Amino acid sequence: MDVYGLIGNPVGHSLSPPMHEAGYEALGVDARYVTFEPPVEGAAAAVEGAADLGVAGLNVTIPFKQDALVAVEPDPLARRIGAVNTVDFSGERPTGHNTDAVGATRALRAHDVTLSGTAVVVGAGGAGRAVAFGLADEGMTVRVANRTASKADGLADEVAATTDGADATGHGLDALPELLADADVLVNATSVGMESEETPVPADALHGDLGVLDAVYRPLETRLLRDAADAGATTVDGAWMLLYQGVAAFERWTDREAPVDAMNEALRERL
Ligand code: ATR
């Protein structure tokens, strides 16, 4: 039996165990997915120790995504993002990856959103970084807007410096109406809207040519997504991003195509 898991603190309410186990069941893979909650200062040792215990793969969540970067050999994308959310122990040395980026791009593609033109990424924290690098790697022009504009500038500079041919700029939230006027994709990568009726984007800045992904998944139907639907945009809720980051980890670990429908069903049953 293969053991996979999630390391974080806290991890009690994680949706990853049922999502991954639904995947193993659908494919008849003999595996379990468990959660580990080491003390906050013990992350690097725990990741290293997991290999010795025979753990085949780990997802990493808050507050360990940066610690994992030094405990394993990060791939170039994880290094640029500055965070590892997936560790693969199948090689000689554990390798670190970041599937949050592909989680966003696959979620958008699954809804027939074309990843070309201009993307507006709201937020410059962990999620915003992953999304900005992911969309820039698709060849999109990236406009990062953040409450703290200097963080948006910093992220945009890093994206521009490490992505071939990238066009990336940083802005404050006040620039959103202007930025969105000729944008093709909008991603909310802030926590605004989580368990609240707030939105980081003025409703009248939205329009029907946008594909809008909200990384927030509690609630599934955020005010931003309702406003976007009213404007005629294509909407993608945060559970899709959560699903596809898990799908990408699943596929890396098992070398098999993930049973996306079964994993999606298990996830949505619990939201
Ligand atoms: P995560 O890993 O989920 O991205 P994070 O790294 O703490 O979490 O980043 C949170 C993001 O949400 C940041 O972009 C933050 O903006 P600041 O950089 O200005 O702090 C944004 N955010 C959080 N609360 C916000 C609010 N009330 N209004 C606007 N942006 C907010």
What CATH number does the domain containing 249 carry?
3.40.50.10860
Q: Are residues 88 and 141 in the same domain?
A: no
| Tally of structural domains, the chain | 2
Vertex 134 angle, CA 131 and 137, to 5°: 150
Residue range of the domain that includes 91: 2-98+241-269
> What type of residue is 164?
D
DSSP conformational letter for 40: G
Q: Are residues 55 and 173 in the same domain?
A: no
Give, using CA atoms, the residue closest to atom 6 of ligand 1.
125
Pairing between strand 86-88 and 95-97? antiparallel
Give, using CA atoms, the residue closest to atom 16 of ligand 1.
147
Q: Are residues 131 and 204 in the same domain?
A: yes
Binding-site residues for shikimate sit at 14-16, 61, 85, 100, 217, 245
Predicted confidence pLDDT, tens digits, the chain (271 residues):
999 999 999 999 999 999 999 999 999 999 999 999 999 888 889 998 999 999 999 999 999 998 899 899 999 999 999 999 999 999 999 999 999 999 999 999 999 999 999 999 999 999 999 999 999 999 999 999 999 999 999 999 999 999 999 999 999 999 999 999 999 999 999 999 999 999 999 999 999 999 999 999 999 999 999 999 999 999 999 999 999 999 999 999 999 999 999 999 999 999 9
Helices (H), 82-197: 100-109, 126-137, 149-162, 176-181
Task: Report, as residue numbers or ranges, the catalytic residues.
Answer: 65
ipTM above 0.85, yes or no: yes
Q: Are residues 133 and 225 in the same domain?
A: yes
Residue 63's CB is within 10 A of a number of other CB atoms, namely 12
